Amino acid sequence: MNPRVLWLVAVVGCSPRVAPPKGVVEAPPVPTVASPPEPPLPLHGGLVVGGAHACAIRARGRVECWGLNDHGQVGLGRKSRSEPPSWVPGMSDVRQLVATRTTTCALRGDGTVWCWGGNEGAEIGDGTGVDQPSPSRVVGLADVAQLSAGSEVCALAGSGDLSCWGNDTSVPFGQHVVRPRPVKIALPVRPIGVAVRGDGGCVWAADGNIACWGELPILHGETPGVAKIDGVQLIQSVPNTVWMGYGESQVCAIRANGEVLCWGFREQPSAHRVLDDLPTLVPNVTGVVELRGGWAFTLARRKDGALVMWGRRDGLEWGQEPRDSGVREVLGLSGVADMSLGGFFCARLLTGKIVCSGDDSDGRLGDGTVALDPRRVREVVEPGAIDPSTWLATLADGEGDACEAASDCGWDDAYAPTRCQKRGGGSLAVCSAPAAGKGECTCTGGRCMLRPSEPPKPPAESCGTKECGLDQAKGQCVIGHGARGNRHPSPDGPRCYCDTGTKSCTFVWREPVRCKQDDDCWFGYDPVRHPAPRPPDLKKHRFAPCVDGEAPPVCRGGMCTFGRPYPC
């Protein structure tokens, strides 16, 4: 037998390596091609929380989202009431996420930016103003290195160019204008980072110089004696700034050594607020690597994975009860690798688990349950773990279908109508249902509503210890429905509240209050605060923040409503 054949048999049949016979040349080994290393999850922006939805970057840069999806902010190509944790189609190699109340944007490894969800304030950046339930590339951007979002979205390129789009409510960029597409912003520094919020933003440079715009401290009205920044201006340099956090009443910068300097309103244990107009070192805070700002508090993540906060937490939907302003640890979480704060709170742990806390009446916490325990921290399930039909069945049945006009809404049955819902899928046109004695199926505040012709009967069960909720589709009150169903998105329209005298849920429908200017508007209580015509004896009275209330009455689109709340 040919010795070369014998050698091949020996190689195939024996596990130990045997030297080839003399005169036989051994073939070189086939080189192994190593897989490229997977990019690490970002320290900032790998997890974002919007108003009632959240998104997270997972392995290979894939993106999962969950929660309220009325504008398509979950990114599944459709609008719906709520969605369980699901993969966003087409999103991979994502390096950072940001979110507004109803919009999500992603920065990919190739430097492009993609957005999906609500577009009423031009947050998608495509110039249409139409919601986009699927990821849409923002045209005109390249080599983007970082994103930040508030009421607008800003993209910082590797060259230092800053471009912003969306609803700009800050002072220098146009007096509350909408930029439908990205617009380049002129800056006095070459920034290496950007942080924006609802009423302004800041950029920081490598030399420590910080430039800010908007109202600083972040105020929502005229306050005598407080100087405002009415343009993009340099403030005092904060050397070695590596990150910034932007809240509603305070702006903070993190130094490379983990120290934090803040300026704006500083809360005191006595509820008295102190104004720091220059960056001031926060005592007893060290090792900080990430910041998130709220209405009157600041939340920080330390290098050791612990969370600390300072300021007031009145109205905060998670955490412990004390309202002192000192620095303290919160939530009892440890090993936190990333966090985000919006309409609720979420954190990614070093183990890879994602946990959330807050009001879950619309499934925003991502664990498949509905509850109103704000102190309960729950783990977000993996994408695909919950069937969407089961998920929807677990949610409180009270929020009406999304709509833009009354013609979008119809009855569920022509002869025995019980629900006002979005047309299609079996619902009938408004005029095709007799509905004698039932009321009008209409669109109010972007939701299909049944407006009853007669006051609906209250639930048999008494309220007081249990919540009064609003079933918008049926135009009636229910018991134990949950806080979100009781808060209709518009200041006019239906409300359910617990009558303290009768201990029964009471249904009211308020008409919109027409106006020409802010001075035409005021508010009333019965017992829920609502817009009302300004009484003649208050025509010359100027709204006093935190005395008359938190949110000022304003005239928008010819109707009285409420402006942005003050951080009272």
d(CA 154, CA 15) in angstroms, rounded, equals 60
10 Å CB burial of residue 25 (0-12, 13-18, 19+) is exposed
Domain-located, residue 139: no
Domain-located, residue 128: no
Domain-located, residue 112: no
For residue 393, give the 3-state DSSP assignment: helix
Cβ-based neighbours of 388, under 8 Å, separated by 6 or more: 83, 84, 86
Domain-located, residue 558: yes
Neighbours of 191 (CB within 10 A): 22
**Residue 22, CA distances (Å) to 7, 9, 25, 439 in order:** 11, 16, 8, 99
Question: What does the block give as tokens for 566?
Answer: 């003050």
d(CA 476, CA 209) in angstroms, rounded, equals 57
Statement to judge: residues 501 and 444 lie in one domain = yes
pLDDT at res. 375? 54
Domain-located, residue 538: yes
Report the domain count for the chain: 2
For 162, phi and psi rounded to 5 degrees? Answer: -115, 125
Statement to judge: residues 421 and 494 lie in one domain = yes
Statement to judge: residues 553 and 501 lie in one domain = no
Domain-located, residue 333: no
Domain-located, residue 21: no
Statement to judge: residues 436 and 524 lie in one domain = no
Statement to judge: residues 431 and 501 lie in one domain = yes
Helix intervals (H) in 336-421: 388-394
Statement to judge: residues 426 and 502 lie in one domain = yes
Q: What is the length of the chain?
A: 568
d(CA 140, CA 113) in angstroms, rounded, equals 10
pLDDT at res. 320? 35
Q: Are 524 and 547 in contact (CB under 8 A)?
A: no
**For residue 502, what is the DSSP state?**
T
The number of angstroms, rounded, from the C-alpha of 237 to the middle of its chain's C-alpha atoms is 31
Tens of pLDDT, residue by residue, the chain (568 residues): 444 333 322 333 333 444 555 554 454 554 444 444 454 545 567 999 998 899 999 988 999 999 888 899 999 999 887 888 999 999 999 999 999 989 999 999 999 999 999 998 889 999 998 999 999 999 999 999 999 998 889 999 999 999 999 876 554 443 456 789 999 988 888 999 999 876 678 899 998 888 887 755 343 333 333 333 345 666 667 888 998 987 767 788 999 999 998 887 776 554 456 677 778 898 888 999 998 877 667 888 999 998 888 776 543 333 333 344 455 566 567 889 999 988 888 999 999 899 988 766 667 888 766 554 545 678 888 887 877 766 655 444 456 777 888 888 888 776 777 788 888 644 444 444 444 447 888 887 677 888 888 888 888 888 766 667 778 778 888 776 444 445 565 666 787 877 777 888 888 888 888 888 888 999 887 666 788 899 888 888 888 776 777 778 888 778 888 877 665 5
**Residue 51, CA distances (Å) to 62, 230, 342, 481 in order:** 22, 28, 6, 20
User: What is the DSSP secondary-structure string of 321-344?
Assistant: S----S-EE-TT--SEEEEEESSS
Identify the domain boundary among 509, 531, 547: 509
Identify the domain boundary among 509, 538, 553: 509
d(CA 93, CA 450) in angstroms, rounded, equals 45
Q: Are 190 and 133 in contact (CB under 8 A)?
A: no
Statement to judge: residues 418 and 504 lie in one domain = yes
Statement to judge: residues 429 and 480 lie in one domain = yes
Statement to judge: residues 541 and 472 lie in one domain = no
**For residue 558, what is the DSSP state?**
T
Q: Are 340 and 49 in contact (CB under 8 A)?
A: yes
Strand intervals (E) in 70-161: 80-87, 94-99, 103-108, 113-117, 132-137, 144-149, 152-157
d(CA 217, CA 18) in angstroms, rounded, equals 78
d(CA 338, CA 346) in angstroms, rounded, equals 9
Q: Are 470 and 486 in contact (CB under 8 A)?
A: yes
Statement to judge: residues 486 and 443 lie in one domain = yes
512-520, long-range: CB within 8 Å, 24+ apart, which pairs? Answer: 512/559, 512/560, 513/559, 513/560, 514/558, 514/559, 514/560, 515/555, 515/558, 515/559, 515/560, 516/555, 516/558, 517/555, 518/552, 518/553, 518/554, 518/555, 520/555, 520/560
Rg (CA), the chain: 28
- The position carrying tokens 């990919």 is 108
pLDDT at res. 437? 45
Domain-located, residue 138: no
Domain of residue 429 covers: 406-509
pLDDT at res. 236? 64
Statement to judge: residues 441 and 523 lie in one domain = no
Statement to judge: residues 494 and 522 lie in one domain = no
Q: Are 455 and 420 in contact (CB under 8 A)?
A: no
Query: Which residues make beta-bridge pairs with 183?
Result: 164
Q: Are 172 and 214 in contact (CB under 8 A)?
A: yes
Identify the domain boundary among 490, 509, 528: 509
